[in-house]
Amino acid sequence: MANDFETITIPEHLHGYPGVAFGGYVAGVLAGRAAAKDVRVDFRRPVPTGAPVRLAGTPDGGCALTDGELLLAAAVPAAFAGEVPEAPSWEQARAAAEAYRAAPPDGQTDCFGCGLDRTPATGLRLHCGRVPGRELVATAWTPGAELAGPDGLLPPELVWGALDCPGNAAGRLLDDRPAGAVTAALTARLMRPVPVGEGLVSYSWMLTAEGRKYRVGTALATATGDFCAAAEALWVVPRG
């Protein structure tokens, strides 16, 4: 029902920028509560960590996250129809991640998705570097058992998270964007369950760029190249 709601609090360790909830995780939470199968999540304001916010369904089959009268984020029905390029190999993605960690760009934060000091138990470690010979960034990573849900799989909200940070890396490494960009919208399709404790490849590519905004595609695959999920995202570089 549209007037049903629940109060949720995003734990502090699930942050992107300090004090701000990790966007991919928030998008996954909203997508999981929406009645529609495929949704686009639009971010209107930063979602705080450690503070209660209200999640309610909307008449169109989506849902909205609010703080008092302020709309923070909303999920609306929107089919994903993007084309996904072939995944880089595990070896290519691992080499790209190692190159990134050896010389990370300026402006790193302790993000749950891409923080350099996170462990497989405390973050996703999406350290995307350039893939030689292709207009892609990619990382090879293995989620720790501590991230599994009760079914032993990576929870859907963390699958959404695996589709978020690579878009930032694409903007920075493929289009010379500065640090500090934020996810403005994320549309994803989850294709298969994602196990923990097994190798995964997250990767991203540029779609369009205009002014402070740029659009990217992202995807998640197994180490053998089977697609698990794909997304399109709009990123925005804040003014000044």
> 125 vs 58, 65, 221, CA distance in Å?
34, 27, 15
The whole domain housing 65 covers: 5-77
Give how far Cα 186 sits from Cα of 42, 74, 195, 226, Å.
7, 11, 23, 22
| Number of other residues whose CB lies within 10 A of the CB of residue 11 | 11
Would you say 187 and 197 are in contact if contact means Cβ atoms under 8 Å apart? no
Q: Read off the tokens for 7.
A: 């109060």
Amino acid at 100: Y
Q: How many domains does the chain divide into?
A: 2
Please tell me the predicted confidence (pLDDT) of residue 1.
37
Q: What is the mean pLDDT of residues 191-213?
A: 96
Does 175 lie in the same domain as 69?
A: no
- Mean pLDDT value across residues 142-167: 97
- Residues 202, 161, single domain; the answer is yes
pLDDT at 239: 87
Domain shared by 61 and 116, yes or no: no
Mean pLDDT over 216-228 rounds to 97
121-151: pLDDT as tens digits: 999 999 999 999 999 999 999 999 999 999 9
Q: How far does Cα 189 stand from its chain's mean position?
A: 12
Rounded to an integer, the average pLDDT of 194-222 is: 97
Last residue within a domain, chosen from 26, 44, 77: 77
Are 170 and 98 contained in the same domain?
Answer: yes
